């Protein structure tokens, strides 16, 4: 039985992963620990085979006043827990980073491959990238590090941009039909992927995503359909929205382009439990 410690007791990814592993109850033992104070330092990390580090901040605030806090949590705390894990003899450390290390979505097509260099556009992305750079030198034959850079994560009770789009899909009668492509990742697909890399003690960088790229207007339409609502997609707003994509942050987040090359998301074992339509049904209709 593999013993896993998840850092962050209120993490959406961490809690979802813990729930996912309940179907493998004879294979994994899972504990969680809060990093909000120094009490985590009293935990005997040597008991665990693997640590999944998901504690961090993302959707808090972009105010400049928050910058130091982002670095303190996303960078400095990550380094501290990684050092402690290695010293305790933990064999495997998984760090949950983000696609945000490559910057924001763009008006034109953006495809990230293995040769694309990170280029954060804000201190959230920069704090994640600096954490990656600082923990990688800790790696050794006895301490393997996996860095996961997922795209937008969504699922039942998820945070971020997906719930906002879902609200729009359920309330508005019309929505712009603009062609764009986004990589997304349903929480069940991510949870299975994390299970596999932890099971296999994998090391390196990982870029999991759904099999399908997502067009925002198509996503809104699917959400509307599963709620038996009708939404009309129109191109009447496209001229002005196309001008705004590169200038207005919220428009860019909704209609910009940002995808991973599918090749870098491949894995030797299958981790896609749900396709796009199935994942939307699970997100919108399944009980908690």
> What is the value of pTM for the model shown?
0.95
Domain architecture of the chain: domains with CATH = 2-155+185-209+261-274 (3.40.50.720)
Q: Write the pLDDT tens digit of every residue in 229-284.
A: 999 999 999 999 988 887 788 898 899 999 999 999 999 999 999 999 999 999 99
Residue 288: CB atoms within 10 Å: 4
**pLDDT in the model for residue 60:** 62
Least confident of 16-20, 102-106, 197-201, 204-208: 102-106
Task: Give buried/exposed letters for 71-96 (b at 16+ CB in 10 A, else e).
Answer: bebbbebbeebbeebbeeebbbbbbb
Phi, psi dihedrals of residue 194, rounded to the nearest 5°: -60, -40
Q: How far apart are CA 90 and CA 85, in angstroms?
A: 5
The CA distances from residue 251 to 13, 180, 223, in Å, are 26, 12, 19
3-state secondary structure 93-105: EEEECCHHHHCCC
**Residue 70, φ and ψ in degrees, nearest 5:** -60, -45
Nearest to 155 by CA among 180, 124, 189, 182: 189
Contact 179, 4 (CB under 8 A): no
pLDDT 10s digits, 115-167: 999 999 898 999 999 999 999 999 999 999 999 999 999 999 998 889 999 99
């Amino acid at each position: 039985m593999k013993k896993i410690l998840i850092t962050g007791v209120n993490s959406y990814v961490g809690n979802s992963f813990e729930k996912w592993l309940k179907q493998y109850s004879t294979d994994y033992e899972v504990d969680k620990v809060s990093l909000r104070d120094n009490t985590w330092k009293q935990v005997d990390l040597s008991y665990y085979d693997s640590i999944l580090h998901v504690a961090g901040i993302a959707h808090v605030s972009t105010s400049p006043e928050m910058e130091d806090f982002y670095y303190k949590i996303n960078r400095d705390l990550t380094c501290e827990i990684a050092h402690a894990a290695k010293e305790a003899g933990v064999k495997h450390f998984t760090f949950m980073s983000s696609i945000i290390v490559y910057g924001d979505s763009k008006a034109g097509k953006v495809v990230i491959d293995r040769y694309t260099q990170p280029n954060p556009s804000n201190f959230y992305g920069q704090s994640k990238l600096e954490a990656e750079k600082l923990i990688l030198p800790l790696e050794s034959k006895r301490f393997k590090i996996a860095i996961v850079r997922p795209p937008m994560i969504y699922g039942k009770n998820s945070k971020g941009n997906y719930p906002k789009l879902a609200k729009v899909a359920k309330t508005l009668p019309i929505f712009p039909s603009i062609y764009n492509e986004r990589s997304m990742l349903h929480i069940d697909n991510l949870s299975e992927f994390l299970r596999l890399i932890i099971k296999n003690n994998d090391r390196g960088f990982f870029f999991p995503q759904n099999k399908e790229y997502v067009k925002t207007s198509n996503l809104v339409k699917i959400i509307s359909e599963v709620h038996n609502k009708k939404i009309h997609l129109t191109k009447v707003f496209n001229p002005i929205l196309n001008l705004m994509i590169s200038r207005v942050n919220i428009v860019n987040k909704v209609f910009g382009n940002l995808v991973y090359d599918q090749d870098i998301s491949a894995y030797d074992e299958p981790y896609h439990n749900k396709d796009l339509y199935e994942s939307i049904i699970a997100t919108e209709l399944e009980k908690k």
